[in-house]
Structure 1
């Protein structure tokens, strides 16, 4: 085995910015053509760079574990567990994201998208992230959970504080506000769950309560954890999915024209943007026993970073990966793979597609009003994204 290559902190691709979101994945994949793994000093972990190695690590939860989430705000959530407890929680979550339930959610999300993006009517230009993207996912959750709209700003503040704490649990400046926000959000959600328990409806909250009751695992605490985990996992990720999808289309005029003319192509646009613009840059995993990944030995207790962005530009998995191709087959790894595949993926797809329809159908001449800037850590979260998408609407 060859000696592991090392990337100095100052040279890490995770510290760079670019107007082209695909350059992040392209640069990492270029590194991966020479090295299946490298140690990145800035990330503090071994980067796993090739598609087959990333896929294998994501599937092998017994070796490459998410158990490090067992400390902090996510300790009771599904992502922190493996084995029987993970299987039990997964089975419950799958019930309230069943095809029938998801179809009901879609019918309620479309009017929310029309309302939110309708606020842009009559304007010549907008900055999409602050003007609409940042609020849209919360408004969707408020509608689906049956929560008063007055929670919107407070809910966003809670989630931002908690996710920042979860992303940097050793940063003392983030611990206290994050902990306080988590306690307040959990208490608020617990009141909603207790009220819903008396008469479960067909809202997302009702489906959560009903799923726990039917699986024999109901408690106010368990349902509250499910609600909080959806809020933590479904807000900022959806904002960056929206930014990635719209930006990818605006940067690829042929694809934009196709999406405008043929709405049936828009689901493909969402999937290809998740690959090409890389909102899910990668995932940390804790090595549970001495193993080998990408030909490199890794010791128990070591952290590795499975670089999904690099895998998305691996030529062995995606022919001509630099091309944004609405006809591409083969999917992406943006929602993960294996036992921890994102349970909220059906809702995320519904949200982004509804937003895409509302925006493109309303503004057929939409175009960029200035350059974009994509970087890892945008908006203070551990994702690859942008803080602004300035556009001309008319």
Structure 2
């Protein structure tokens, strides 16, 4: 057993890869080990993590059904999940995604272009943390009247979701969820009578095409996309940019060839993945790598460790744009992240716009980077700040 004080999840590092490296090294000795801080056995090897993610009949996500995400894809299984997945596939089709990209690009240019001509910046709070909300509102066709209130609501809800048993977070989180839900429901009702070409219209039409439209279902879907893709997108951008900044040669290559942006995102999502792992509920007695897992117990599928498993990724500690391996950053199997296409669009546009605006972008050598689990108060591995010279 790993004592809480000794857990890799309790440490900070100047590199986003340290957590994965440390846990993968442990996994070479023990494929499954109980971590007191995470209050669950850590599953550490790639083959075991990937197999459990695919095996939703044994390793379930149904524990999400007790909170505000109860109607989201992550909480559903069986035919309910399949139908809702079909709905989401409609509004994340290739043609719909291309339309979204056209909306996102100018927002990225405006957000990150504002850094042009400056000597330095702190990227997270100044730009990255505000960008996803602006993108989401623009895609929904919502006037930016939500402003700071939207950020306040989302932050309160996500902090509650990350620590559902913390009483000081539950009250504000539930209140924020009710207020954001009411606001979103009004948007949905209005959109039902319009034919606008935006994400909200696509969502409404997708539910109608599947015969599944209700205002409540569409509202839950919109909220699920926002809550599931807000802080994760922030840390995905931070991971991609920090990976490139810590590897100046790779940064120079991406700057010279924008076609490498997608490769940089994929390798950053392996090397510096913000989704350190995912909890799952064992719904029947099973075992992982010879370790018994009783029904009713939780396991932590450690994606960070899997990404540094040399059996899956040769020379895993090297950040390599040429790497052609599938990462687990968006999950795998039935619960593969449905918002992955939008997240990739947002991050690619942000990286491209930032590199265009800041031709000499580099880390500020006078500031120390700090990566840790729980960054910005959420259950993500990442950083609160990314200080750069521009």
The Cα offsets for residues 280-306 of structure 1, whole Å up to 9 and x where unpaired, read as: 100000000000112211000000000
Q: Structure 2: how far apart are the matches of 1:215 and 1:112? A: 32
User: Where in structure 2 are the equivalents of 1:21-60 lying within 5 Å?
Assistant: 21-60=16-55
Aligned: 1:166 with 2:161: yes
How many positions carry a matched residue from both structures? 388
Q: What is the alpha-carbon distance in structure 1 between the residues aligned to residue 363 and residue 289 of structure 2?
A: 40
Whether 1:188 aligns to 2:183 is yes
Q: TM-score, normalised by structure 2?
A: 0.99
CA RMSD for the aligned pairs? Answer: 0.7
Q: Say if 2:337 is the partner of 1:378.
A: no
SS in 1 for 2:146: helix
Structure 2 unaligned blocks of 5 or more: none
Q: What CA distance in whole angstroms lies between the structure 2 residues aligned with 1:228 and 1:373?
A: 31
Which of 9, 12, 21 is the aligned partner of 1:14?
9
Q: Confirm whether residue 360 of structure 1 aligns to residue 355 of structure 2.
A: yes
* Equivalent in the alignment of 2:135: 140
Contact 1:200 1:210 in 2 (8 A): no
2:228 counterpart residue number: 233
Q: Secondary structure at the match of 1:281?
A: coil
- Structure 2 Cα separation of the partners of residues 366 and 24 of structure 1: 26
Q: TM-score, normalised by structure 1?
A: 0.98
Number of the residue aligned with 1:325: 320
Superposition deviation, residue 152 in structure 1: 2.8
Runs of 4+ in 1 over 4 A off after TM superposition: none
Q: For 1:149, what is the secondary structure of its paired residue? A: coil
Could you tell me how far 1:153 is from its partner in structure 2? 1.2
Work out whether residues 70 and 76 of structure 1, in 8 Å CA contact, stay in contact via their aligned partners in 2. yes
Query: Residue 362 of structure 1: CA displacement?
Result: 1.4
Match of 1:69 in 2: 64
The structural deviation recorded for 1:122 is 2.6
Report if the CA contact (8 A) 1:200-1:207 is conserved. no
Please name the residue that 1:245 is paired with. 240
Bigger shift: 25-34 or 75-84? Answer: 75-84
Partner residue, 2:387: 390
Q: Select which of 106, 111, 114 maps to 2:109.
A: 114
Distance 2:359 2:271 in 1: 23
| Deviates further, 148-157 or 53-62 | 148-157
Deviations 1:91-127 (A, max 9, x none): 1011100111001000110011011112222311100
User: Is residue 2:299 matched to residue 1:274?
Assistant: no
Write out aligned runs for 1:92-103 (5 A): 92-103=87-98
